[in-house]
Structure 1
Amino acid sequence: MSRPKTLRKVVAPPNFKGYRPYGTNVEPTDSIELLYEEYEAIKLADYDLMNHLEASKLMGISRPTFARIYETARRKIAKAFVETIEIKTVYGDALLEKHWYVCEECQTRFTIPKTIEEHECPLCKSERIELLNT
């Protein structure tokens, strides 16, 4: 019996639901799920240029665990590029630092301070919002 996974801290969810290849004659029939923690690992290592130890501390996991998450994310992205497969972001084993919401109308992702009672999209004012932290 394996031990339960430690939740990985993610500062903010990705600002997209996915990526789809275009300019190809082949319609993508499959998709790859990129977990929020995999997105965070790519962002920290390749965009923020953190080393694995710094990034692992920020995510609240060990350095070897970070390295495994990062490698899995890189392989998924490479496979999607080479095989022209759509990438979709999914929640995974993430622990978001704040309460994050997504608007079901315009797909905007945003956070609301706990003191605000009114829950509506700051962009389109729709009340059809969903909590991402579940």
Structure 2
Amino acid sequence: MVRPQKLRKIGCTPESRYFKPRATPLSELIEVVLPHDELEAIRLLDLEGLYQEEAAEKMGVSRPTIGRILARARKTIADALINGKAIKIEGGKIATNQMPPDFPRSRGRHRRGGRK
């Protein structure tokens, strides 16, 4: 029996959900999916330059798991770049600390100015 996959912590979600070759309409392209956890691994290791141990700790996974996530991400990105495919960013078992922009910001029970 396979263990259920743990939620992977990510620092942020990207503003763009698609990347594609410039000259071809999206409707004519083959898509590859890059899950949010794979994008986060690329961000932490390749962009921020963290070691695998540090990135694994930030994402809440083991060091071997971050290695597998990174290998899948690099393979997906290489496939898209070499073969002219679109990259769609979606999915993955993730937990984020980022609130949606329309989320109401409440001050809880204690408001400024006393009770009304």
How does the TM-score come out when normalised to structure 2?
A: 0.82
Structure 2: which amino acid aligns with 1:14?
P
Alignment CA distance shift 1:111-1:42 (3 Å) = farther
1:115 aligns with 2:67: no
Offset from partner CA, 1:68-125 (integer Å, 9 cap, x none): 00110000000000110000110311111233x3xxxxxxxx4746428xxxxxxxxx
Provide the residue aligned with 1:41 in structure 2.
Answer: 41
CA–CA distance in 2 between the matches of 1:111 and 1:36? 21
| 8 Å Cα contact 1:9/1:59 also seen in 2 | yes
How do 1:80-91 and structure 2 match up within 5 A?
80-91=80-91
Provide the residue aligned with 1:6 in structure 2.
Answer: 6
CA–CA distance in 2 between the matches of 1:40 and 1:111? 23
- Structure with bigger strand share is 1
How do 1:1-134 and structure 2 match up within 5 A?
1-23=1-23, 28-99=28-99, 101=100, 110=101, 112=103, 114-115=105-106
CA–CA distance in 2 between the matches of 1:67 and 1:36? 15
Aligned Cα root-mean-square deviation (Å): 2.1
How far 1:30 sits from its partner (Å)? 1.3
Alignment CA distance shift 1:22-1:93 (3 Å) = same
CA–CA distance in 2 between the matches of 1:111 and 1:67? 35
| 8 Å Cα contact 1:28/1:84 also seen in 2 | no
Gaps of 5+ in 1: 102-109, 117-134
Alignment CA distance shift 1:113-1:56 (3 Å) = farther
- Identity of matched residues, %: 33
Describe the SS at the equivalent of 1:15: coil
Gaps of 5+ in 2: 108-116
- Structure with bigger helix share is 2
Q: Which one has a bigger Cα radius of gyration?
A: 2
Structure 2: which amino acid aligns with 1:94?
I
Describe the SS at the equivalent of 2:16: coil
CA–CA distance in 1 between the matches of 2:78 and 2:16? 18
